[in-house]
Structure 1
Amino acid sequence: MATIEKRTRKDGTTAYRLKWRFGGGREGAQQSITYAEHDDAKSMKGAVEALRHHVYDTDPRVISFELVTGQKPTAYTAPTFGEVAEKYVTTRTRAKATTKDLYRRTLRNRAGALLARPVESITDDDVSALLSGITDAGQSSAMIYDLLRGVFRYAVVKTSLAVNPMNGVEPPKRRPRTVNFLSNTDAGLLLDACRALPNVGAALADVVDVILGTGLRISEALGLVAGDVHVDDVDRAWIDVEMQLSRATTGSPESRRVSLKTDASRRRIALDSATARVLARLVDGLAPDAPVFPHPVAGGWWGQGVFGKAFERARTAAKRAGMVKTPRVHDLRHTHAAWLLTDGVPLLAVSRRLGHESIGITADIYGHLLPEGDDAIRAVLINRRAALAPATVRRVHAVVPMDAVAA
C-alpha cells in the first residue's frame, strides 16, 4: 500500500512524501513524490492505489497531478517481453551499436515466441522449453540465456514482475571450443587449392597467406587499408590494426569499416619478410584509404560472406587433394598462434599479437600447446639449491655449575 510520510525541511516548513512500491509487492521498485500539502499527497495516494500501484513516480500524470485533477485512472497493461527487451538493450550504454543490433537479432531469431507475450506471464517452464529447443537443434543457447537473464532482471526492477523466471533455469552447458591447427603440409595444400580457383584464386590465396603470417581475424584482414601497411623495409615491416570490416552488406563504403571488437584489438603486428613482401606487392600504387584486399572481380570491399563461400570451395578442393583437417577461416588465426607457441614464443607476446583482451583467453584456447616444463623446473631448482651456502651447524655446550661437579 502507499504511505504518506510527514517530513520537516531545513527551512522549518512541512512536506509530505508519498511512497509506494511499483505493483504493491516487496519486490517492486520504490517510488516516491513529495507535496507541500497533505491533501495533495492524500489525493494522489488514492489515485495510485486505484491503479493498484502500477504507476511510476516519473509518470507525467503523477508529476502534473493529472491523475487527480479530472483524468480517470486507466487500467494497467503489463508490457510485453519484446517491449521490455528493447528497453533493456537500449540501456546497455557500454555496448556498441553493432553489439546492440546483434542482441536484437538474437532475441528476434531465438526468442521470437516470447516477444508478444506479457512479461509477467512468462514462467521458468517457458524459458526452459525455449532453451531446450535451441540446444536440441544443435545450436548454442549460451548467448540467448545471458540475454534472457539480463532482460528479466531489468523487468523485475522496472516493471511489476515479482519473480524472475530465470531463477529456476540452469545455464546451458557451453559447447567445447573446436579449434583446428593446420600442419605445414595442410596449409600448403590449402594455399594451392586457393590459387587454383578461377577468377578469385590469387586474391584468395593472398588473404589466407597473410592471415597465416599475422593471426589477423578475417574482419581485420578484409578491413585493412594501404595506410595501415608499413613495408618500406621488409625486414622491419609492420601493420597497424585500427579498424575492421563490418558484416553488413549494405551502406556506404565508409560505413562498412567499423571499430574493432575491443580496445585490445588495436595493435601493431610485426611482419616476417615473406608476409611483408606479399603485402608490399598488394599495396604498391594504392591510395592510403584503398582496401588491401578488394574483391578481385567487383572491386570495393570484399564482404566476409562472399569471401567465406570462395574459401569453402578451396577447402573442398584441398580435402580432395589430401588435406587432413577441415578448417574454418578462423582456424587460420588459430594455426598462426599454434605455430608461434609450439616454437617457444612466450604466451604473453602471442596474446598481445592476437589482440586478446587478457592472457587468460589465450591460455584457455592454446594452453594445451605449451610444454609442461617439468624438466626445466627441475633444472632450475637443482642449480638454485646447489648455489645455496651450506648451513653452519653450531654445537651448543651446556654450562654445568662447579658445585654440581664437586658433588
Structure 2
Amino acid sequence: MTGLAVDRIDFGEGMLTVDLQVVVIDRRPVPAPPKTKASVRDVPMPAVLADALAGHIDRHKPEDVLFRTTRGNLIRRDYFNADILKPAILAAGVPMDMTFHDLRHTFASTALAEGVPISEVSRWLGHESITTTVDLYGHLVPEASERARAALDNAFAAALGST
C-alpha cells in the first residue's frame, strides 16, 4: 500500500498492480521491488476503494506514489502503524489489536466465502505456492466439497438426460 503509485491503478478494469513497496535502508524509506517474483501481481479493486482512491488523487494530485507524509517523504511502516492506522482504528471503534495484516486476511476470507477460487486468491495474495494459501485459508471453504458434488450431479444429470 505504501508503494502504490498513480500509474499502477487501472480504474477501467478495477485492478491495482502491486510491483513496488517501501523498505527502510539506513533509516530512510526508499522504493523497492517486492520481495519475491510472486509478490508482483494485479489485485482486484472494489468500487468503494476505487472511489476513495479517485478522491484522494483529485485532492492531493500525487505524481507518483499515492501516499506520503506531510513532509513529502515515503511512508515507513512504523509511521503508518502509529500515526495513521492506530488512530483510524480508534476512531472506527475497531478492537485496538487489529493490524494492517488483518485487512489482508479479511480480503482473503471474504473472497473465499463468496466462492472465489482459492487459486485466484493465492495469486492476488502473492503467495509463491497455492499450498501456502490452502494451509492458511483452506478451512474457510468447507462448502467446496458440496459445490463439487452439486456440479458433478448437475453434469451427470444433464448428460444422462440428453441420451
TM interval, shorter chain, is 0.7 to 0.9
The residue number in structure 2 matching 1:272 is: 46
Residue by residue over 1:69-113, the C-alpha shift from the partner in whole angstroms, topping out at 9 and shown as x without a partner, is xxxxxxxxxxxxxxxxxxxxxxxxxxxxxxxxxxxxxxxxxxxxx
Asked if 1:300 is matched to 2:89, the reply is no
Corresponding residue number in structure 2 for 1:353: 124
Other structure's SS at 2:115 match? coil
> Where do residues 319-330 of structure 1 align in structure 2 (5 Å cutoff)?
321=93, 323=94, 326-330=97-101
Over 3 Å counting, the alpha-carbon distance change for 1:244 and 1:387 in structure 2 is: same
Structure 1's 276 and 249: CA in aligned 2 closer, same or farther, altered over 3 A?
Answer: farther
**Superposition deviation, residue 329 in structure 1:** 1.2
Residue pairs, 1:324-343, within 5 angstroms: 326-343=97-114
Alpha-carbon distance in structure 2 between the residues aligned to 1:281 and 1:294: 16
The TM-score with structure 2 as length reference comes to 0.80
- The one-letter amino acid of 1:353's match is W
Structure 1 match to 2:5? 225
CA distance in 2, matches of 1:325, 1:372: 32
The residue correspondences of 1:244-323 to structure 2 (distance < 5 A) are 244-248=21-25, 250-251=27-28, 256-284=30-58, 285-287=61-63, 289=64, 291-295=65-69, 297-310=70-83, 311-316=85-90, 318=92, 321=93, 323=94
Q: 1:266 to 1:378 in 2, by over 3 A?
A: closer
Q: Secondary structure at the match of 2:127?
A: coil
C-alpha root-mean-square deviation of aligned residues, in Å? Answer: 2.6
- Aligned counterparts of 1:364 and 1:347: Cα–Cα separation in 2: 11
Kindly indicate whether the alpha-carbon contact (under 8 Å) linking 1:243 and 1:260 is maintained by their aligned counterparts in 2: yes
Q: Which structure is higher in RCO with an 8 Å CA cutoff and minimum separation 6? A: 2
Structure 1 equivalent of residue 142 of structure 2: 371
2:115 corresponds, among 344, 347, 360, to 344
Shift of 1:226: 2.0
Question: Residues 249 and 303 of structure 1 are in contact (CA less than 8 Å); yes or no, is this contact kept in structure 2?
Answer: no
Deviation (angstroms), 1:279: 1.6
* Residue 299 (structure 1) shift: 2.4
Report the TM-score, using the length of structure 1 for normalisation: 0.35
Contact 1:294 1:300 in 2 (8 A): yes
2:15 corresponds to 1:238: yes
| Paired letter, 2:42 | R
In structure 2, relative to structure 1, the CA distance for the partners of 1:248 and 1:312 (3 Å cut) is farther
Give, in whole Å, the separation in 2 of the partners of 1:222 and 1:317. 21
Relative to structure 1, the CA distance from residue 283 to residue 230 in structure 2 (aligned partners, 3 Å threshold; closer, same or farther) is farther
In the superposition, relative to structure 1, how do residues 333 and 382 fare at CA in structure 2: closer, same or farther (>3 Å)? closer
Give the 3 Å change call, closer, same or farther, for CA 249–329 of structure 1 in structure 2.
farther
1:166-192 per-residue CA deviation (whole Å, 9 max, x = no partner) reads: xxxxxxxxxxxxxxxxxxxxxxxxxxx
Q: How does 1:200-215 map to 2 (within 5 A)?
A: none
Measured in 1, the distance between the counterparts of 2:87 and 2:132 equals 31
The residue matched to 1:299 in structure 2 has which SS? coil
Shift in CA distance, 375/315, structure 1 to aligned 2, threshold 3 Å: same
The CA deviation at 1:272 is 2.4
| 1:119-155 alpha-carbon deviations (Å, 9 max, x no partner) | xxxxxxxxxxxxxxxxxxxxxxxxxxxxxxxxxxxxx
Label 1:240 to 1:357 Cα distance change in 2 as closer, same or farther (>3 A).
Answer: same
Q: Deviations over 1:313-337 (max 9, x none)?
A: 443455xx4x458321111111111
Which structure has the larger Rg? 1
Whether the 8 Å CA contact 2:127–2:133 is kept in 1: the answer is yes
Change (3 A) 1:280 1:381: closer
Identity %: 35
